[in-house]
Amino acid sequence: MSVTKIILILSHVPVFAVALYAAFIYKTLPTGLKLFSWFLFCSGILQLISLILWFQGINNLFILHLLVPLGFVFLTAYYRNVLEGFLNKTVLSGTAIGFVIFSVINTVFFQPLSVFNSFALTTSCVVLIILSLSTYMLLLDKSSELHRRPSYAGLNRINSGLFIYHASTLLIFYFGEYITSHIGLELSRYTWVAHSFFSVVMYYCFWRGLWNRAVI
């Protein structure tokens, strides 16, 4: 087994670990972090299925066509709770519904289940980068109501994890279909090793965010 393959496998460990930790402390979390936990549960389950299929040599790209819209819905629900009072709830609800419709259309007409859904992933990245930057702007305001909310203790770390990951992997997702279809297997693995690094950083931020909330 190659080193790159081992790294790709091990990069799943933080995903499962943080999902299990979120399940363990779920009852102690405020509403916003409970919504965020559902994103972690969804990611953990679907990535476990994806890893099993990968070991069996079965095309697992269809998992992304489920993970991307589901993950987006849970994350926009989280940000809707975080940005309550600063952004109209219907804006994010409409954004989530519109993105799900866009993802379905993309899968049916442009990038089928057997293909990397780069259009949906790229769009998701851009929207989440905007939401994370908006949250940063509010966090910079010391008089903001965000600083008085129960979920504030973990908000900055979780928001940082989402921003770092999506800003760093935007180009990887944009060229994802080309990478998986036209670049050699070993070379493409190096690209996904870079992706895995940012994923590990993101899930570390998630763990710290949940830990900060749990110990306060």
- Contact in structure between 42 and 74 (CB atoms under 8 Å): yes
The yes-or-no verdict on residue 72 having pLDDT over 70 is yes
Q: Could you tell me if 77 and 96 are in contact, meaning their C-beta atoms sit under 8 angstroms apart?
A: yes
Q: How far is CA 116 from CA 63, 66, 68, 142, 168, in A?
A: 10, 12, 11, 42, 18
Contact (CB, 8 A) for 207 and 18: yes
% of the chain at pLDDT higher than 70: 91
Can you give the pLDDT at residue 5? Answer: 85
Cα dihedral across residues 55, 56, 59, 63: positive or negative: negative
CB 27 within 8 A of CB 78: no
pLDDT given for residue 43 in this prediction: 98
Residue type at position 199:
S
Whether residue 150 is predicted with pLDDT greater than 70 in this model: the reply is no
- Reported pTM: 0.93
Report the alpha-carbon distance of residue 51 to residue 26 in Å, rounded. 25
Q: How confident is the model at residue 42, as a pLDDT? A: 98
Please tell me the predicted confidence (pLDDT) of residue 140.
84
Confidence of residue 182 (pLDDT cuts 50, 70, 90): low
Where do the domains of the chain lie? Answer: 3-215
Q: What is the average pLDDT score of the chain? A: 90
pLDDT recorded at residue 191: 84
* pLDDT at 131 exceeding the cut of 70: yes
pLDDT at 160 over 90: yes
Are 125 and 169 in contact by the 8 Å Cβ rule? The answer is: yes
Residues contacting 88, CB < 8 A, separation 6+: none
Contact in structure between 51 and 63 (CB atoms under 8 Å): no
Q: Is the pLDDT of residue 4 over 90?
A: no
Mean pLDDT, range 42-46, rounded to an integer: 98
pLDDT bin (cut points 50, 70, 90) of residue 48 is very high
Q: Tokens in use for 83?
A: 């940005």
